[in-house]
Every structure is written in structure tokens, then in C-alpha cells.
């Protein structure tokens, strides 16, 4: 699987602010700060790529440098707000690095809130990008429950309309319904030209799904998520 690649940039976005779980990116998980799990998997991936952490926080930057990531510049505060998107950060990072002479053909986005994504997953997603000459590859995981069993509820909680439209599915065993997948946020990679022209990893054509097992797809956003990650990590 080992292949020497050129012009690959891995970006790990890590802002300090988080309303639901303050300072989550540096919370200790299994003896490591949360962000260190992602830095470690990125550096261990057998790809020739630069691993950059984008943050406005001196504290996060210090941790990231300690674990081997590059911090070429601090992120502007206006890109570290609740409304700031990951792609805004990618766009700014690519253009700022390009202004200093660092140009890339490919970018890989690795959220630090997905600690159990392995270096192998990063390699496989990138190799899929190359195999299909894709514009983008995004990671997915299988849904826990059939989408046919989900619903919106009226204020009354009455299920009559839902049952009327879904009775056949409700009578069907879950294993007999089609497999469905959801985005898990662990890995997004793509060709820089396609991503910048579309301003998203969800390019309308030439985007592929990379499947990951549920145990590697944990995404930490709340304290409950973090506690579940601690439970899983203790059994890895």
C-alpha cells in the first residue's frame, strides 16, 4: 500500500471555542489530548504530506507542536467563530500557504473530534481518490437503524400518518431493509482545484464514499460523546 505522494496537505481544524464541550480538542483521552489522536494518525499515514493544524488558540498550538504538527500561522479570530465553516478554514489555509510558496494538489481534512480514525483509513481514502481520479472522497458509516423507521413528529405525538405511509417497512425486519450510510466527518479529501472551484468537498460529480466501521466513526461533540469514546478507548 505504501506509495510516495507529492503535494498533499492534511489540515486539522481546531478552534478553542465549543459551547457544548469547552476545550474539547485538548481534553485528555486515554492519556493523550484529543487532538493528538488525529495528529498521530496523520503522521503515521504512509503518504508524503504536510500535517497542519489550523487554530487561533495558543494553548492548542502548543499541544499540536508538541505532537509533531506544523503551525505555519495562527488562524484569524473571524474564522474561529460558531458560524465559521471548515471549508472557510481550508480556503484560507490553502491561499495563505500558497502566498508563501507552498502549493498543493490535494487536501485532506481531518477533524480532531474523530479520534479513532486510523492512519490506514487515511491512506485508503486517499488511494481511492487516486484510483477513481475522483474530485473528492468523504467517509461514511452504516446507519444504526433503518431510515424507514425515522420520522418527524407533530406536536401531539400522533403516529397515524407515519404508520399509514410506512406500515410495510414497519412490518419488515431491519436486516431485510436496504443498508443506508451517513457521513461520519472523519475524513474528507479531494483535488484542490475541484474543491476551491466548488467551495465544498461535496462536489456534484466525481465524489465517492469511503466506508468506515462504526467503532472508528465516533464523532465527539458533547460530554456524552466523550464519555462513550472513553469507554471504547478502554477496550481498544
The confidence score (pLDDT) of residue 31 equals 94
DSSP run (H or E) holding 88:
helix 86-99
| pLDDT value for 77 | 85
Kindly provide the residue ranges of all beta strands, DSSP E only, lying in 17-174, ordered along the sequence. Answer: 28-29, 32-33, 49-54, 106-109, 136-142
What value, to the nearest 5°, has the Cα angle with vertex 136 and ends 131 and 139?
A: 95
Q: Which residues contact 206 (CB under 8 A, 6 or more apart)?
A: 132, 133, 134, 135, 136, 194
Let me know: does 93 contact 53? Beta carbons within 8 Å.
no
Q: What is the pLDDT of residues 83-119, one digit of tens each?
A: 778 899 999 999 999 999 999 999 999 999 999 999 9
The H or E element spanning position 208 is strand 207-211
Q: What is the pLDDT of residue 236?
A: 67
**Residue ranges of the chain with pLDDT lower than 70?**
1-6, 236
**Which domains, and CATH codes, for the chain?**
8-143+180-233 (3.90.550.10), 147-176 (no CATH)
Residues 6+ apart with CB under 8 A from 99: none
> What angle separates helix 119-131 from helix 34-44, to the nearest 10 degrees?
50
Chain mean position to CA 199: 16
Taking CA atoms, 167 is separated from 158, 160, 162, in Å, by 15, 10, 8
Euclidean distance between CA atoms 24 and 40, whole angstroms: 17
Amino acid at each position: 500500500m505504501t506509495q510516495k505522494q507529492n503535494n498533499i496537505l492534511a489540515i486539522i481544524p481546531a478552534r478553542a471555542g465549543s459551547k457544548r464541550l469547552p476545550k474539547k480538542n485538548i481534553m485528555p483521552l486515554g492519556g493523550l489530548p484529543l487532538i493528538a489522536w488525529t495528529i498521530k494518525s496523520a503522521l503515521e499515514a504512509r503518504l508524503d504530506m504536510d500535517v497542519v493544524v489550523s487554530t487561533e488558540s495558543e494553548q492548542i498550538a502548543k499541544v499540536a507542536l508538541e505532537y509533531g504538527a506544523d503551525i505555519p500561522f495562527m488562524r484569524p479570530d473571524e474564522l474561529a467563530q460558531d458560524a465559521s465553516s471548515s471549508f472557510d478554514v481550508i480556503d484560507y489555509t490553502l491561499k495563505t500557504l500558497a502566498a508563501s510558496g507552498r502549493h498543493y494538489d490535494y487536501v485532506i481534512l481531518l477533524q480532531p473530534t474523530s479520534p479513532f480514525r486510523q492512519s490506514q483509513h487515511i491512506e485508503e481514502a486517499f488511494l481511492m481518490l487516486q484510483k477513481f481520479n475522483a474530485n473528492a472522497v468523504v467517509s461514511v458509516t452504516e446507519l444504526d437503524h433503518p431510515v424507514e423507521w425515522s420520522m418527524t413528529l407533530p406536536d401531539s405525538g400522533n403516529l397515524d400518518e407515519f404508520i399509514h405511509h410506512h406500515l410495510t417497512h414497519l412490518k419488515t425486519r431491519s436486516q431485510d431493509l436496504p443498508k443506508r450510510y451517513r457521513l461520519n466527518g472523519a475524513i474528507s479529501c479531494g483535488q484542490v482545484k475541484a474543491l476551491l472551484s466548488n467551495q465544498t468537498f461535496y462536489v456534484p460529480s466525481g465524489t465517492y464514499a469511503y466506508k468506515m466501521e462504526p467503532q472508528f466513526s465516533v464523532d465527539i461533540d458533547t460530554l456524552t460523546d466523550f464519555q462513550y469514546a472513553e469507554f471504547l478507548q478502554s477496550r481498544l
